Amino acid sequence: MAESESLETITEHERILQEIESTDTACVGPTLRSVYDDQPNAHKRFMEKLDARIRNHDREIEKMCNFHHQGFVDAITELLKVRADAEKLMGQVSDTNRRLQDAGREVTAQTEEVIRCRIQQRNMATTVEKLQLCIPGEMTWLRKLMTDVNLFLFRYYSALKTMEQLENIYIPRVSQYRFCQIMAETLPKLREEIKEISMSDLKDFLESIRKHSDKIGETAMRQMKHHCLMHCHRKCSFNLVGFLFKVLTAQDLVDFSPVYRCLHIYTVLGDRETFENYYRKQRKKQARLVLQPQSNMHETVEGYRKYFNQIVGFFVVEDHILHATQGLVTRAFTDELWNMALSKIIAVLRTHSSYCNDPDLVLELKNLIVIFADTLQGYGFPVNRLFDLLFEVRDQYNETLLKKWALVFRDIFEQDNYSPIPVENEEEYKAVVSRFPFHDAEIEKQQFPKKLPMSQSVPQIYSQVKEFIYASLKFSESLHRSSTEIDDMLRKSTNLLLTRTLSSCLQNLIKKPHIGLTELVQIIINTTHLEHACKYLEDFITNITNVSPETVHTTRLYGLSTFKDARHAAEGEIYTKLNQKIDEFIQLADYEWGMAESDGRASGYLMDLINFLRSTFQVFTHLPGKVAQTACMSSCKHLATSLMQMLLDTELKQISMGAIQQFNLDVMQCELFASSEPVPGFQGDTLQLAFIDLRQLLDLFMVWDWSTYLADYGQPTSKYLRVNPSTALALLEKMKDTSKKNNIFSQFRKNDRDKQKLIETVVKQLRSLVNGMSQHS
**Inter-residue contact 374 to 390 (CB < 8 Å):** no
Residue 502 has pLDDT above 90, yes or no: yes
Nearest to 474 by CA among 374, 361, 573, 381: 361
**Inter-residue contact 353 to 362 (CB < 8 Å):** yes
The answer to whether residue 333 is domain-embedded is yes
pLDDT computed for residue 430 by the predictor: 92
**Inter-residue contact 401 to 472 (CB < 8 Å):** yes
In this prediction, residue 639 has a pLDDT band, given cuts at 50, 70 and 90, of very high
pLDDT computed for residue 551 by the predictor: 66
The answer to whether residue 231 is domain-embedded is yes
Model confidence pLDDT, tens digit, residues 109-127: 556 665 776 776 676 666 5
The answer to whether residue 163 is domain-embedded is no
- Stated as kind and residue range, the H or E segment containing 423 is strand 421-423
One domain for residues 370 and 415 = no
Examine the fold and report which residue of 541, 572, 603 is the final residue of a domain before the chain moves on: 572
For residue 516, CA distances in Å to 197, 629, 633 come to 87, 19, 19
| End-to-end alpha carbon distance in the chain | 169
One domain for residues 637 and 760 = yes
Domain of residue 493, residue span = 401-419+455-572
pLDDT computed for residue 142 by the predictor: 47
Nearest to 708 by CA among 721, 695, 726: 721
Count of domains observed in the chain? 3
The answer to whether residue 181 is domain-embedded is no
One domain for residues 611 and 757 = yes
pLDDT computed for residue 224 by the predictor: 83
The answer to whether residue 607 is domain-embedded is yes
Tell which wins on pLDDT, 435 or 550.
Answer: 435
Q: Find the mean pLDDT for residues 610-615.
A: 94
Model confidence pLDDT, tens digit, residues 712-768: 988 989 999 999 999 999 998 888 755 444 545 455 454 545 656 777 888 888 888
- Stated as kind and residue range, the H or E segment containing 681 is none
Helix segments in 477-558, DSSP class H: 483-496, 503-511, 517-545
One domain for residues 647 and 564 = no
**Angstrom distance (rounded) from CA 672 to CA 664:** 12
Q: Which residues pair with 150 in a beta bridge?
A: none
**Angstrom distance (rounded) from CA 72 to CA 143:** 9
Model confidence pLDDT, tens digit, residues 669-702: 999 999 999 988 888 888 999 999 999 999 999 9
The answer to whether residue 138 is domain-embedded is no
One domain for residues 554 and 637 = no
Amino acid at 36: Y
**Domain harbouring 496, CATH code:** 1.10.357.30
Nearest to 312 by CA among 392, 205, 225: 225
Examine the fold and report which residue of 572, 606, 625 is the final residue of a domain before the chain moves on: 572
Q: Find the mean pLDDT for residues 6-32.
A: 70
- Helix, strand, coil shares, percent, the chain, to 5: 80, 0, 20
Share of the chain above pLDDT 90, in %: 32
- Stated as kind and residue range, the H or E segment containing 452 is strand 450-452
pLDDT computed for residue 138 by the predictor: 33
Query: Half-sphere exposure of 687 toward its Cβ, with a 13 Å CA cutoff?
Result: 24
One domain for residues 605 and 733 = yes
pLDDT computed for residue 505 by the predictor: 94
pLDDT computed for residue 100 by the predictor: 55
pLDDT computed for residue 190 by the predictor: 76
One domain for residues 633 and 502 = no
Q: What angle do CA 684, 689, 692 make, to 5 degrees?
A: 140
One domain for residues 342 and 474 = no
Nearest to 456 by CA among 492, 416, 493: 416
Which residues lie below 8 Å from residue 446, measured CB to CB, with a gap of 6+? none
Q: Phi and psi at residue 454, in whole multiples of 5°? A: -85, 165
Nearest to 472 by CA among 397, 584, 547, 581: 397
The answer to whether residue 391 is domain-embedded is no
Q: Phi and psi at residue 452, in whole multiples of 5°? A: -90, 145
Model confidence pLDDT, tens digit, residues 413-445: 999 999 999 999 999 999 999 999 998 888 888
One domain for residues 500 and 619 = no
- Stated as kind and residue range, the H or E segment containing 561 is helix 559-586
Amino acid at 295: S
One domain for residues 552 and 504 = yes
Instruction: Tell me if the pTM is above 0.85.
Output: no
Tell which wins on pLDDT, 159 or 519.
Answer: 519
Tell which wins on pLDDT, 529 or 21.
Answer: 529
Handedness of CA 308, 311, 313, 318 (dihedral sign): negative
**Domain harbouring 640, CATH code:** 1.20.58.670
Average pLDDT, the chain: 80
Peptide bond just before 359 cis, omega within 30 deg: no
Tell which wins on pLDDT, 496 or 30.
Answer: 496
Q: What angle do CA 127, 130, 131 make, to 5 degrees?
A: 85
Model confidence pLDDT, tens digit, residues 574-611: 999 999 999 999 999 999 999 988 888 999 999 999 99
Amino acid at 645: Q
**Angstrom distance (rounded) from CA 169 to CA 717:** 137
The answer to whether residue 733 is domain-embedded is yes
**728-766 b/e with 16+ CB inside 10 Å = b?**
bbbbbebbbebeeebebbeebeeeeeeeeeebeebbebb
One domain for residues 613 and 720 = yes
One domain for residues 667 and 520 = no
Model confidence pLDDT, tens digit, residues 181-224: 777 777 777 777 777 787 887 788 888 888 878 888 888 888 88
